[in-house]
C-alpha cells in the first residue's frame, strides 16, 4: 500500500482505488492515506462530519457509508466502503490545511456531475461548513491578537476586511444591503468565504511567526494580509471579492437544509 503515499493527489489515483461489488466504492482506509492522514481515528472525524451532512440532507447514510473491516498487520480494524458521494462529502469535510486534502477538494469540485442530484444541497452545506470553520478560526485569531496587544478588536478586524475588499466593512454592508446586526460572512458564497478563511488563518500565522505586537502594527498586518489575498484572487481569477455574488442568508439556509 506504500504506492498510496504519492506526492500529489490526482483523479487517476482516486479512480484507481475504486472497487466494484454491486456498486462502485472506495475503502475509507485507502482514501485516508491518499489524503495523507496518519490514522483512522483522526480521519474518522471527517467521515463523521460527512455522515452528519448526509443526515442533514436526508441522504441515506447506510447506502453511502457501509461499515466493514480491514486487516492491517494481522489485526482487524474498522473501515468503511464509501460511495463516490461519501468520498466527496468526506473530502469536503477533511482538514484543508493538509496539502493533499486541498488538492482533493479542488479535484472533487470539478466533478459536479458525479453528485449532480445533490449538487445544490451540497453547495449550501459547503457554505455552512466553511462558515463554521471561519467562526472557529476567528476565535483563535482573536485570542492571538489580544495576547499580542490588540485592545480594540473591531478596528483590527475592520483592517482585514479593508485590505481584502479595498473598502470599509460599513461600505461593504451598504453596497450589499446587509441589515444591521447581520454578519457579512452570512451572505457570502463558498469561494468568498474560502478567501476570508484564508485571510484569517494567514493573519494569525504571520502574527505568530513574526512576533508582531501592538494595536497599530497588528492592524497594518491584518490589512496587508487582506491585500495579498485580494491580489492573489485578481491574479488567478481576475475577480475581486466584492464583485462575487451575494448569497442567501446562511441562517435561512441552515433552517431548511
Residue-level pLDDT at 3: 46
Sorted by where each begins, the domain ranges of the chain are 2-110, 121-256
Residue-level pLDDT at 111: 66
Residue-level pLDDT at 71: 73
Per-residue pLDDT of the chain (257 residues; tens, 9 = 90+): 444 444 567 778 888 889 887 678 999 999 999 999 988 889 999 999 999 988 877 788 998 999 998 776 677 888 999 998 899 899 989 998 888 898 888 888 776 555 554 555 566 777 888 888 899 999 999 999 999 999 999 999 999 999 999 999 999 999 999 988 889 999 999 899 999 999 999 999 999 999 999 999 999 999 999 999 999 999 988 999 999 999 988 877 665 54
Give the C-alpha separation, 120 to 112, whole Å.
Answer: 10
For the sheet containing 24-27, what is the strand order?
Answer: 19-20, 24-27, 75-82, 65-72
pTM: 0.57
Cell 457579512, residue?
Answer: 184
Q: Is the distance from CB of 94 to CB of 33 less than 8 angstroms?
A: no
CA dist list (Å): 215 to 58, 83, 140, 164, 203: 47, 50, 17, 19, 14
Amino acid at each position: 500500500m506504500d504506492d498510496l503515499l504519492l506526492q500529489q493527489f490526482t483523479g487517476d489515483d482516486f479512480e484507481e482505488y475504486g472497487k466494484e461489488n454491486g456498486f462502485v466504492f472506495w475503502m475509507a482506509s485507502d482514501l485516508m492515506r491518499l489524503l495523507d492522514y496518519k490514522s483512522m481515528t483522526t480521519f474518522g472525524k471527517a467521515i463523521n462530519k460527512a455522515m452528519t451532512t448526509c443526515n442533514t440532507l436526508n441522504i441515506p447514510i447506510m447506502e453511502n457509508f457501509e461499515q466493514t473491516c480491514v486487516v492491517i498487520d494481522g489485526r482487524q480494524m474498522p473501515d468503511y466502503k464509501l460511495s463516490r458521494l461519501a468520498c466527496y462529502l468526506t473530502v469536503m469535510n477533511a482538514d484543508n490545511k493538509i496539502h493533499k486534502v486541498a488538492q482533493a477538494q479542488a479535484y472533487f469540485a470539478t466533478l459536479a456531475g458525479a453528485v449532480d442530484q445533490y449538487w445544490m444541497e451540497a453547495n449550501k452545506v459547503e457554505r455552512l461548513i466553511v462558515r463554521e470553520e471561519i467562526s472557529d478560526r476567528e476565535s483563535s485569531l482573536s485570542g492571538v491578537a489580544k495576547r499580542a496587544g490588540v485592545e480594540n478588536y473591531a478596528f483590527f478586524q475592520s483592517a482585514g476586511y479593508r485590505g481584502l475588499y479595498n473598502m470599509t466593512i460599513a461600505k461593504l454592508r451598504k453596497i450589499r444591503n446587509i441589515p444591521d446586526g447581520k454578519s457579512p460572512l452570512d451572505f457570502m458564497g463558498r469561494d468568498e468565504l474560502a478567501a476570508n478563511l484564508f485571510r484569517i488563518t494567514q493573519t494569525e500565522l504571520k502574527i505568530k511567526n513574526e512576533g508582531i505586537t501592538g494595536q497599530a502594527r497588528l492592524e497594518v498586518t491584518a490589512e496587508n494580509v487582506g491585500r495579498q489575498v485580494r491580489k492573489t484572487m485578481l491574479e488567478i481569477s481576475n475577480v475581486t471579492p466584492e464583485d462575487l455574488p451575494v448569497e442567501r442568508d446562511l441562517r435561512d439556509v441552515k433552517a431548511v437544509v
